[in-house]
Amino acid sequence: MRARNSFVGAAFALLAAGMGHSALADDIKIGEINSYSLLPSFTEPYRKGWQLAVEEINAAGGINGKKLVVISKDDGGKPADAQTAANELVSSEGVAMLTGTFLSNIGLAVSDFANQKKVFFLAAEPLTDAVTWAKGNKYTFRLRPSNYMQAAMLVEAASKLPAKRWATIAPNYEYGQSAVAVFKKLMSEKRPDIQWVDEQWPPQGKIDAGPVVQAVAQANPEAILNVTFGPDLVKLVREGNTRGLFKGREVVSFLTGEPEYLDPLKEETPEGWIVTGYPWYSIKTPEHDAFLKAYQAKYNDYPRLGSIVGYQTIKAAAAIIAKAGSTDTDKMIAAAEGISMPSPFGEITFRKIDHQSTLGAFVGKTAQKDGKGVMVDTSYKKGSDYLPSDAEVEKLRPKD
């Protein structure tokens, strides 16, 4: 009986701990939604990132003299719950804008909500091209380089490979499908000579890696495009290593260089994959140094890509509100369109034409160093260089 009581006590203590936000009437409130309970490996560093940003902004006097408060909600990985959270933030908490989200479908759900309720939404992470193009709307902006941009960055390197026979492995959902589709399209444009010899579509989170690896090996490709990440990637890499799938084959892989996905691999880290990612250890720019130093000082931990995304999301939100000089939605939209601001990756701009930021990504090769996975030969790819022409974008995006 006592055990039960203490359990209840613990439960309420946890609950109370979760409610530790309080805001004054003339603070500037920003609502933030992410899949905290579903994707902690990304969202924990992400949260640390935005908390650092809030601290820095308020230490520097807030936004136009007002204190910034971020109210954060979990969406549990469900679009419907994300909408409930968005509603609470807007209707009940009275936030000036919505930010955050990781999964594409949740990004789209919140974006649609923003469009309906006429609320400013700064999407942090969702990669689907639809957020800014096919289902783009006036109220929605996005920070991270989209699927298309990352594909274009990878294609630049991949098209220089001699390989002609390509196979693809991607999780069977929209992100994987569109990543493969864009990559194929851009590759085939640059290299009409290549052949696509096999494709594998394991269900997200449930890859049965052995048979998949074996099936790809059987098609005998010269190069492989991988889009899996997280635990699926781990299984794929381990099976692939054991079965020798990657031996003598080029591999091009989305996101694998991000510490969230690269670090767990440790001594399994494959050598020489061409990947997008975040080599925080080898970026030597003043902007990034400042960020890195502040982050490590505050958390005694190294940043992941999520940290950058969280940090820059709130920095961007603050910059937009500061420029608008108001939390009026239309003024914020006007301010956001074309706004430029510093970031740990250098200056970025939110394009007027499609509300996509020009934040870029690092492309490099994977390697092992002291039993850990790292990216080497990295170079930063500016987002602005990997977007289609304005005329094409006009066609992709519905009229506001």
Q: Which amino acid is at 1?
A: M
Between 35 and 358, whose beta carbon lies closer to another protein? 35
Q: Please name the residues in contact with 299: beta carbons below 8 A apart, sequence gap of 6 or more.
A: 48, 52
Q: Is 125 in the site for another protein (CB under 8 A)?
A: no
DSSP letter at 332 equals H
Q: Is 165 in the site for another protein (CB under 8 A)?
A: no
The residue behind tokens 């609320």 is 119
Q: Is 266 in the site for another protein (CB under 8 A)?
A: yes
What residues numbered 221-240 form the site for another protein, per CB under 8 A?
230-231, 234-235, 238-239
> Which stretch, 2-10, 271-279, 344-352, 386-394, contacts another protein (CB under 8 A)?
2-10
Between 91 and 195, whose beta carbon lies closer to another protein? 91
How many Å apart are CA 243 and CA 245, to the nearest integer? 6
What residues numbered 24-43 form the site for another protein, per CB under 8 A?
36-38, 40-41, 43
Nearest to 143, CA basis, from 315, 278, 400, 296: 315
What residues numbered 267-286 form the site for another protein, per CB under 8 A?
268
Contact with another protein (CB under 8 A) among 51, 99, 101, 105:
105
CB-based contact 130:119 (threshold 8 Å): no
φ/ψ bin of 323: left (φ > 0), alpha (ψ from -120 to 50), beta (otherwise): alpha
Task: Tell me the closest approach of the beta carbon of residue 291 to another protein, in angstroms.
Answer: 21
Q: Is 129 in the site for another protein (CB under 8 A)?
A: no
Q: Is 163 in the site for another protein (CB under 8 A)?
A: no
Binding mask 356-395 for another protein (x = CB under 8 A): ----------------------------------------
Q: Could you tell me how many residues of this chain bind another protein (CB under 8 A)?
A: 78
Q: Which residues pair with 70 in a beta bridge?
A: 30
Q: Mapped to the 3 state alphabet, what secondary structure does 84-130 carry?
A: HHHHHHHHHCCCCEEEECCCHHHHHHHHHHHHHHCCEEEECCCCCHH
> Which stretch, 154-162, 169-177, 307-315, 344-352, contacts another protein (CB under 8 A)?
169-177
Between 56 and 112, whose beta carbon lies closer to another protein? 112
Phi, psi (rounded to 5 degrees) for 9: -60, -45
Between 116 and 285, whose beta carbon lies closer to another protein? 116
Report CA-CA distances (Å) from 197 to 190, 193, 217, 236, 239: 18, 13, 11, 19, 20
Contact with another protein (CB under 8 A) among 78, 165, 191, 372:
78
End-to-end CA distance of the chain: 61
What residues numbered 177-206 form the site for another protein, per CB under 8 A?
177, 198-203, 205-206
Binding mask 306-335 for another protein (x = CB under 8 A): ------------------------------
Q: How far, in whole angstroms, is CA 150 from its chain's centroid? A: 11
